[in-house]
Structure 1
Amino acid sequence: MDIRQINYFVAVAQNGSFSKAAEMLSLSQPTLSLAVKKLEEELGVKLFYSFNKRQELTDEGQALLESSRHLLDAYQQTLENVKTSRNSRSGTFTLGLSPLFGACFFGDLIPKFNQEYPRIQITMIEDGANKIDERIASGQVDLAVTLKTERLSTFSNCHFTTQRNVVLLHKSHPLAGERTLTVSQLREDAFAIFNQDFILHRQIMSACHSAGFRPKIALLSSQWDFMVELVAKNHAVSILPKPVLDKHPDPNVVCVPLTDSMKYWDIALAWNKDRYMPNACRLFLDFVLEHLPPDDL
């Protein structure tokens, strides 16, 4: 028994005639009669009997008619729910986000989104960009904020923002008065940088290698504020995106822009092109694209 058979049965019951029901359904009468006959054979009961040129319901037919009306109502409601789900302002999705991106850009953005869409729940997964990229590939996140690298081309993506990277120096450091710096000028310093879970770690190590030296490491961490603290106490230098220090300045720390391969911090929104994106996530993506931070070029 399927919904088509139920619909045919109800049409005959309401019209009291196979011919009138067939006309209403735009079917041939033999096709309709055969469908009802198959339904009776499947249920093992007689649903109609003929009286005064009308098709009247048997007791079994009457019982089926009462249940069928509820079933058709539920079926119609299901169709409506599916059609309107695209415009639903509720749901859940998973966002992959580095703590650094959260600190710089999403402290205001997510609360504003929650205020506009209070019935959408965001599950946050915070990790370094290397790990976040792995989660995009494995489908563990619906949407992620990551750095623009060669791996980004394997995902669907769009631009989020481009910001400046800066060298963090103690105010007494000999290079603190420079207007710009290159990574090469830091070869004698000890570095406090992100650990291997972060793409910025790989970029810094690569930049140092290109400049002809292996950096001395004072600290590998996942905590940017720990790095700033070491710089503030004159134990290390660091390379971080400028928005970090804009939001959390330290009077003992000087920021000097870079001019070499580490000059820019390119951030993208990315998602797995082979994975379905929930409607709630699409709403968030559209919201973010309407509130992009300005580029610092």
Structure 2
Amino acid sequence: MELRTLRAFVEVVRQGGFSNAAKLLFATQPTISKAVKQLEDELGVPLLDRVGHRSVMTAAGEIVYRRALSMLTEREDLLAELADLRGLKAGSLRLGLPPLGASTLFAPLFAIYRARYPGIEIRLAEHGSKKLEEIVLTGEVEMAASLLPTTDDFEYQPVRCEPLLVVMPKDHPLAGQSKTGIAALAASPFILFESGFALNPVLLAACERNGFTPNVAARSGQVDFIVELVAARLGIAFLPRTIAEQRRTAAVELVLLDEPGTQWHMALVWRRGAYLSHAARAWVDLAREVYGS
């Protein structure tokens, strides 16, 4: 059994089809199809059920997928350990960062890290927190920044904890207040982030605890665009304090969200029990040094 065929099968499942998997692996679609067929022939069972343009895992496929993830992750751990024989003079750090807060929290760390370890290449993946946690578990990245609380699948190092601010139009009835609970905002349309951002479930859970489901007027993955939508009176939005204050304009008002369980608690997370390369440990140590968590 070759890791090449396992990787092809895993990416077909993860990417939702042969075409997307081929693009990710820089291969042709027939090459990926042949690799999966080779794996099926070797194991003697069908792994995928082709339904129209979709491929759905069979029961055997689910078992192979789970085992393949483990085997591929072990390979990445092996390569990381071997790279450590060269210390921090060479190697790479596979790091995942979310769009929200990455520039504020982590850009300063890049400059320090680069100055200390110029031989380490940082391979960066950018996704929402949900996707980042998935690729940490599959070994695509060693660690990622995500919001706490997280699951028992991860170990973590806290980075920053701060409240959320409500970004609202200047003429909103609550503009000028020093703080507000989320229940007082039930009648206001919400502008949320796209699915996959960890801040969304934090806010929706708070709404549910207060007995209402918000009217979602729009979603976006771009902080500046969200603030512009608020300025255009489309609704209200929620941002961590530091990020909100950086985008304060004359057209919006910032009000503290005084609501239990809604703090923005960013941390570095990695797979529980995973081997962390010296490069990754150095990144964690630097975050602890700078932010003192």
Which bin holds the TM-score, normalised by the shorter protein? Answer: 0.5 to 0.7
1:77 corresponds to: none
Paired position in structure 2 for 1:26: none
Whole-angstrom distance in 2 between the partners of 1:88 and 1:119: 7
Instruction: Write out per-residue CA displacement over residues 213-239 of structure 1, whole angstroms, 9 at most, x where no aligned residue.
Output: 111111112222211111112211011
1:135 matched to 2:135? The reply is yes
One-letter code aligned to 1:117: Y
> Are the structure 2 counterparts of residues 84 and 215 from structure 1 closer, same or farther at C-alpha, using a change threshold of 3 Å?
closer
Q: Give RMSD over aligned pairs.
A: 2.0
Amino acid at match of 1:116: R
One-letter amino acid of the structure 2 residue matched with residue 158 of structure 1: Q
**Alignment match, 2:114:** 114
For structure 2, the residue ranges without an aligned partner over 5 or more in a row are: 1-81
1:92 corresponds to: 92
Tell me the residue number matched to 2:124: 124
Provide structure 1 residue ranges, at least 5 long, that are not aligned to the other structure.
Answer: 1-81
Corresponding residue of 1:10: none
Query: By how many angstroms is 1:130 displaced?
Result: 1.1
Deviates further, 106-115 or 213-222: 106-115
1:83 shift after superposition: 11
Residue identity opposite 1:144 in structure 2: A
Where does 1:25-174 land on structure 2 (aligned, <5 Å)? Answer: 85=85, 87-151=87-151, 153-174=152-173
Letter of the 1:130 partner, please give it: K
Q: 1:110 is matched by which residue type in structure 2?
A: F
Distance 1:95-1:84 versus aligned 2 partners, 3 A rule: closer
* Contact 2:98–2:129 under 8 Å retained in 1: yes
The answer for the alignment partner of 1:218 in structure 2 is 217
For the Cα contact (< 8 Å) 1:227–1:238, is it kept in 2? yes
Q: Which one-letter code corresponds to 1:244 in the other structure?
A: I
**Do the aligned partners of 1:104 and 1:247 also contact (CA within 8 Å) in 2?**
no
- Equivalent pair of 2:190/2:236 in contact (CA under 8 Å): yes
Deviation digits for residues 78-117 of structure 1 (CA, Å, limit 9, x no counterpart): xxxx898364333102111101121221122212221222
Distance 1:263 1:178 in 2: 18
Partner of 2:256: 257
The residue matched to 1:100 in structure 2 has which SS?
coil
Residue pair 1:161, 1:293 contacting (<8 A) in 2 also: no
1:120-160 CA distances to partner (integer Å, 9 max, x unpaired)? 11111111111111112222211111100241x32111211
In 1, Cα distance between equivalents of 2:84 and 2:138 = 30
**What residue in structure 2 maps to residue 39 of structure 1?**
none
The match for 2:278 is 279
Match of 2:21 in 1: none
Alpha-carbon separation, structure 2, partners of 1:125 and 1:160: 19
Is 1:292 the counterpart of 2:274? The answer is no
The 3-state SS of whatever aligns with 2:275 is coil
Q: Secondary structure at the match of 2:179?
A: coil
TM-score (norm 2): 0.68
Contact 1:89 1:280 in 2 (8 A): no
Q: Matches of 2:292 and 2:231 in 1, distance apart?
A: 28
Distance in 1 between residues matched to 2:166 and 2:290, nearest whole Å? 28
Which amino acid is the alignment partner of residue 133 of structure 1?
E
What one-letter code is carried by the residue in structure 2 that aligns with 1:93?
A: L
Counterpart position of 1:191: 190
Q: Contact 1:167–1:258 at 8 Å: present in 2 too?
A: yes
Distance in 2 between the 1:124 and 1:118 partners?
16
Q: Percent identity?
A: 30
Report how far residue 292 of structure 1 moved: 1.1
Q: Distance in 1 between matches of 2:118 and 2:246?
A: 27
Q: Is the 8 A contact 1:171 1:252 kept in 2?
A: yes
CA distance in 1, matches of 2:180, 2:120: 45
* Structure-2 change in CA distance of 1:118 and 1:83 (3 Å): closer
Residue type at the aligned position of 2:104: C
Alpha-carbon distance change, 213 to 106 in structure 1, aligned in 2, over 3 angstroms: same
Alpha carbons 1:168, 1:256 under 8 Å: kept: yes
How far 1:262 moved relative to its partner?
A: 4.7
